[in-house]
Amino acid sequence: MSAVLRFDDTREVADLAAFLGRLIHYDRAAAVRLQAGGGALAVFGRPPSFEVLAIRTARLGDDALVLDVTVSAGELLESLDETACAGRVPAAVTGPPWAGVLPPRGGWQPVPGLPEPDRMRGAVAAAVAEFRARDEALPEQRRTRAERELIGREIWSRTLGSTELPLRAVHAAQSLGFLRPVRALAASAGAAAAPDPVTLFASGPWLRLRTPYGSIALRRAGLGGLTVTPA
């Protein structure tokens, strides 16, 4: 009998469902690795367009549940019931290679030099516009996938600020709903809008861009390919 995921509140279910839906947008056969323990659930996915690991956490109402399994993202999404604040863990699937190489749990140290969130979103928008302009400027005989990949690799491998974080990691964070615009504080408090905290961490060869809505992790060495079509 499959394990039951009992979430802390409906928002946790809704946010997880939105994350899974975005993963499936990029890969209808997407798999996710689930790790649960201590009243928290971590969901790891790898959108192929970005070559990064996306991590979404959710609070559980069951502190006793311990779990580590790779499942279908689509089946997990179908099992979620926001009204009941619950879902079922689907049958395990053969994990893709990335599922066996997750970021470390500890040893993370903050890395300075990351631009403000508004500037990061602006950098993504400028990169998307540049990609489209350079793609449209290609002569017909050079408008091939290989040529577009060269353009994409050059643009999305650029780093942010004085860090080693490639621009595609920020693109992934924005596309997956992790890098959201400035949110206003409660009107009753009479406070001005304030940006959500976005922080870069490093642990060994790994980098992790953390926001209040999820994290993007990738290795500094051997980053691999990236998308050629802006999302």
Alpha-carbon distance of 117 to 95, in angstroms, equals 34
The strand pair at 109-110 and 199-203 is best described as antiparallel
Alpha-carbon distance of 94 to 186, in angstroms, equals 45
Residue 53: φ, ψ to 5°: -100, 130
The strand pair at 86-88 and 4-6 is best described as antiparallel
Alpha-carbon distance of 220 to 200, in angstroms, equals 13
Query: What domains appear along the chain, each with residue ranges and CATH number?
Result: 4-97 (3.10.150.10), 109-185+194-219 (no CATH)
**pLDDT in tens for each of the 231 residues of the chain?**
679 999 999 999 999 999 999 999 999 999 999 999 999 999 999 998 888 999 999 999 989 999 999 999 999 999 999 999 999 999 999 989 999 999 999 999 999 999 999 999 999 999 999 999 999 999 988 989 899 999 999 999 999 999 999 999 999 999 999 998 755 333 334 455 555 689 999 999 999 999 999 999 999 854 443 433 343
